[in-house]
């Protein structure tokens, strides 16, 4: 069932799959709760046994558990969950969902190319473009004269340099790589030998090699073996200074390090100055393909981002000025929306599209007050793009990330404290918790908090993603005062709490004082 959940999450943008996913998670989590309950009583037996309280006391936890699961006779609670599991299993099997491939549809994740989709996509990041050109060892030239380079065998490199561009989804890595490819100085430097490969979620060496050879004009046979392909690749690049762009590389490459090294070593037969440019969300991938030559791409700076946002919302800065002259409130609302987007170009496009559809103040106010995860979005908007990062996670790490939806935005937390919560919830074993945290950090889900050693934050857009993926599994309290510490330990406020007669009343009364994590723990204890 866990495998089925994993498969369906790749296609949760579809209504049918999303509906089945909710049903399956509901019953699977109930089954897990039952097993947790069993383990709890088993632990009570061990504790009582260690205290030598006698055989009668050992029976108490067993009888208590038996009473909980056997109400109505015939282990009714167990049988109900078993029947529900069988029902959703058979239902999914009849629809062929067990064979659902673990990959996204092209509509959600279209193939990229070196050509910029829109002229305005080259807006901003001018400094970053120059920095990357320097790292690519591209130097300017005068009056269009090409930079001279050797064509002798002695000029070939012994090692091919790789430059990874690392950053979270939607920050503009692909767009930056496209800018590099269309830059005249870059094209001239590499003698117009620029090869673009969209790696996506399938790092397969033979496929990549074929794509490179096709880009170089080499005719191939379906029967070509890896050996034949590598020989062709070695011979095809030996007289060329090239730039190979591997766009959107994921952790699949980590499963085939040997294949990557063979591919990289074969390309090293090119002329001196040849390079590979990789875009990735994973610092693990960056560390594999390059030991130290990383470039972290961040969001646009405020001034540039503000102008870009105007462009997205109105099509031009002039249209923005004209509209704000007639409706001055729009500029105030736009300035209030901007910090939510954290400099992400894709987020600006997503919100710009929504704002442009209706220029009424009421519509803009609604978007300002809404969290991004609650807004309707197209398949290529910011949250679907970020959700890709989530779906690629192993199942147990998905659970660890989704519980972070209950954090307040911008809340600073410590690694060990969050890891303890994961262990307490049963999401991960104690010894695996640190590496789980590091995985999320390496994939840009978490970031180090500025100015405070040992603390971390979740990027606002990743926080929205956490709430999106967990919206059917938890409740979120919008207004809370503190994190894990009540505001009224010995205060007068504690005397004014209403009398509690039910769990629902308790949740309502305490939600004013406690952070969602506290409420989650409280409800869990009350339920048990």
Please tell me the predicted confidence (pLDDT) of residue 317.
67
What is the average pLDDT across 311-321?
Answer: 77
Please classify residue 275 by burial: count the beta carbons closer than 10 Å to its beta carbon, then call 0-12 exposed, 13-18 middle and 19+ buried: buried
Between CA 126 and CA 124 the distance in angstroms is 5
The residues facing 296 across adjacent strands are 166
Q: What is the mean pLDDT of the chain?
A: 82
Q: Which of 38-52, 132-146, 289-303 has the lowest mean pLDDT?
A: 132-146
Q: pLDDT digits over 177-230, tens only?
A: 999 999 999 999 999 999 999 998 678 999 999 999 999 999 999 889 999 999
- Does residue 282 contact residue 164 with C-beta atoms inside 8 Å? no
pLDDT at 298 over 80: yes
Distance CA 155, CA 149 (A): 9
Q: What is the pLDDT of residues 346-397, one digit of tens each?
A: 899 888 888 888 888 999 999 898 888 888 888 778 888 888 889 889 989 9
Q: Residue 260 in contact with residue 251, Cβ under 8 Å?
A: no
Q: How confident is the model at residue 136 (pLDDT cuts 50, 70, 90)?
A: very high
Average pLDDT, integer, range 101-114: 77
pLDDT of 398 > 60? The answer is: yes
The CA distances from residue 46 to 33, 60, 65, 132, in Å, are 20, 12, 14, 61
Check residue 69 and report its DSSP letter: H
| 37-46, 74-83, 501-510: the lowest-pLDDT one | 501-510
| Whether pLDDT at 246 is above 70 | yes
> How many CA atoms, within 13 angstroms, populate the side-chain half-sphere of residue 305?
21
Contact status, residue 432 vs residue 426, Cβ threshold 8 Å: no
Share of the chain above pLDDT 70, in %: 83
pLDDT in tens, 466-493: 988 888 776 555 544 333 333 344 444 4
- Cα(67)–Cα(211) distance, rounded to whole angstroms? 64
From residue 183, give the alpha-carbon distance in Å to each of 115, 143, 186, 280. Answer: 11, 15, 5, 21
- Report CA-CA distances (Å) from 218 to 141, 160, 229, 245: 31, 21, 10, 18
| Percent of residues, the chain, with pLDDT higher than 90 | 40
* Residue 145 confidence (pLDDT) above 50: no
pLDDT over 70 at 157, yes or no: no
94-113 average pLDDT score: 81
User: Tokens 């506290």 map to which residue?
Assistant: 518
The Cα–Cα gap between 33 and 528 comes to 10
Q: Report, as an integer, the average pLDDT of 496-517.
A: 44
Q: Which residue has the tokens 């939806």?
A: 405
- What's the pLDDT band for 64 if we cut at 50, 70, 90? confident
The answer to whether residue 339 scores a pLDDT higher than 60 is yes
Residue 118: its pLDDT value, please? 61
Q: What pLDDT score was predicted for residue 185?
A: 93
What pTM did the predictor assign? 0.77
Q: Between residues 27 and 46, which one has the greater pLDDT?
A: 27
- Integer CA distances (angstroms), 401 to 170, 251, 404, 462, in order: 19, 18, 5, 10
Q: How confident is the model at residue 408 (pLDDT cuts 50, 70, 90)?
A: confident
pLDDT at 261 over 90: yes
pLDDT of residue 429: 93
Q: ∠ CA 477-479-481 to the nearest 5 degrees?
A: 110
């Amino acid at each position: 069932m866990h495998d089925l959940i994993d498969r369906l999450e790749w296609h949760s943008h579809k209504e049918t799959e999303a509906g089945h996913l909710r049903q399956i998670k509901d019953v699977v989590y109930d089954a897990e709760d039952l097993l947790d309950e069993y383990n709890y009583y088993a632990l009570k037996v061990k504790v009582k046994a260690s205290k030598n309280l006698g055989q009668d006391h050992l029976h108490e936890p067993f009888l208590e558990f038996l009473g909980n699961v056997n109400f109505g006779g015939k282990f009714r609670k167990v049988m109900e969950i078993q029947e529900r599991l069988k029902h959703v299993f058979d239902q999914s099997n009849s629809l062929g969902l067990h064979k659902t491939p673990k990959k996204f549809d092209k509509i959600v994740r279209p193939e990229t190319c070196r050509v910029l989709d829109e002229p305005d996509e080259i807006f901003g990041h001018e400094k970053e473009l120059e920095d990357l050109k320097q790292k690519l060892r591209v130097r300017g030239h005068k009056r269009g004269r090409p930079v001279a380079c050797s064509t002798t065998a002695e000029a070939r490199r012994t090692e091919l340099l790789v430059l990874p561009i690392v950053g979270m989804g939607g920050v503009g890595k692909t767009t930056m790589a496209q800018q590099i490819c269309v830059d005249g100085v870059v094209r001239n430097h590499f003698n117009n030998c620029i090869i673009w490969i969209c790696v996506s979620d399938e790092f397969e060496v033979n496929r990549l090699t074929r794509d490179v050879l096709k880009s170089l004009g080499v005719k191939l046979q379906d029967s070509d073996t890896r050996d034949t392909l590598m020989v062709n690749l070695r011979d095809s690049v030996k007289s060329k200074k090239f730039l190979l762009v591997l766009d959107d590389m994921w952790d699949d490459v980590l499963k085939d390090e040997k294949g990557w090294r063979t591919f990289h070593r074969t390309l090293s037969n090119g002329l001196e100055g040849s390079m590979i440019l990789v875009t990735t969300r994973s610092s693990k991938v960056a560390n594999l393909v390059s030991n130290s030559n990383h470039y972290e791409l961040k969001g646009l700076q405020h001034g540039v981002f503000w102008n870009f946002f105007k462009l997205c919302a109105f099509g031009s800065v002039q249209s923005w000025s004209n509209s704000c002259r007639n409706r001055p409130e729009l500029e105030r609302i736009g300035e209030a929306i901007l910090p939510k987007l954290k400099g992400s170009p894709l987020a600006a496009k997503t919100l710009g599209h929504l704002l442009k559809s209706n220029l009424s103040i009421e519509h803009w106010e609604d978007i300002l007050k809404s969290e991004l995860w609650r807004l309707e979005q197209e398949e290529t908007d910011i949250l679907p793009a970020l959700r890709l990062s989530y779906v690629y996670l192993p199942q147990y790490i998905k659970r660890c990330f989704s519980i972070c939806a209950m954090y307040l935005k911008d809340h600073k937390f410590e690694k060990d404290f969050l890891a303890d919560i994961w262990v307490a919830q049963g999401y991960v074993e104690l010894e695996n918790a640190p590496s789980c945290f590091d995985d999320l950090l390496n994939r840009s889900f978490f970031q180090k908090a500025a100015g405070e050693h040992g603390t971390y934050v979740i990027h606002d857009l990743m926080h929205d993603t956490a709430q999106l993926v967990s919206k059917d599994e938890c409740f979120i309290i919008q207004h809370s005062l503190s994190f894990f510490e009540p505001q009224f330990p010995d205060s007068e406020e504690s005397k004014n709490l209403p009398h509690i007669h039910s769990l629902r009343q308790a949740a309502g009364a305490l939600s004013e004082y406690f952070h969602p994590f506290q409420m989650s723990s409280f409800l869990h204890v009350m339920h048990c």
